[in-house]
Copies of this chain bind each other. A is one copy, B any other.
Amino acid sequence: MASGGRVGITDVAKRAGVSVTTVSHVLSSRRPVAEATRQKVLRVIEELDYRPNEVARSMRVQRTSTVGLVVPNISHPFYTAAARGLEDALRPEGYHCIVTSTDADRDVERDAVRQLLSRVDGFVISGADKRTEDIQPILDAKLPLVMLGADIPGPGFDVVTNADFESGSLAAQHMLERGHRRIAFITAEDDFAAGARRVEGYRSALDKAGLSTEASLVIRAAASLEGGAKALANLRKLAEPPDAVICVSDVMAIGAMYAAREAGLRIPEDVAVMGFDDTEAAALVAPPLTTMATASRDHGRKAGELILRRIQDGTADVEPQRVVFPAKLIQRESTLGRWRGLLRVLPGRERRLLARLG
- Cβ of A106 within 8 Å of any chain B Cβ, yes or no, is no
- Cβ of A96 within 8 Å of any chain B Cβ, yes or no, is yes
Supposing A5-B142, A140-B49 touch, asked if A87 and B114 sit within 8 A by C-beta, the answer is no
- Cβ of A286 within 8 Å of any chain B Cβ, yes or no, is yes
Chain A 128-147 interface mask (CB, 8 Å, partner B; 1/0): 00000000000011100000
The interface residues of chain A, by DSSP majority, are classed as: mixed
Of B97, B117, B225, B284, which is within 8 A of A98 by CB?
B97
> Which residues of B are found within 8 Å of A53, using beta-carbon distances?
59, 118
A252 to B284, CA, bound (A): 11
Interface residues in A99-119 by Cβ distance below 8 A to B read 99-101, 114-119
A245 to B98, CA, bound (A): 41
> Which residues of B are found within 8 Å of A297, using beta-carbon distances?
75
- Cβ of A56 within 8 Å of any chain B Cβ, yes or no, is yes
- With CB as the reference atom, state the residue of chain B lying closest to A53: B118
- Cβ of A55 within 8 Å of any chain B Cβ, yes or no, is yes
Supposing A51-B118, A59-B56, A94-B115 touch, asked if A254 and B99 sit within 8 A by C-beta, the answer is no
> Which residues of B are found within 8 Å of A117, using beta-carbon distances?
51
Give the top 4 A-B pairs by smallest Cβ distance, nearest first.
Answer: A286-B286, A75-B84, A54-B118, A281-B281
Residues of A near any B CB (own CB < 8 A): 4-6, 49, 51-56, 58-59, 62, 64, 66, 73-75, 80-81, 83-84, 87, 94, 96-101, 114-119, 140-142, 225, 254, 261, 280-281, 283-286, 297
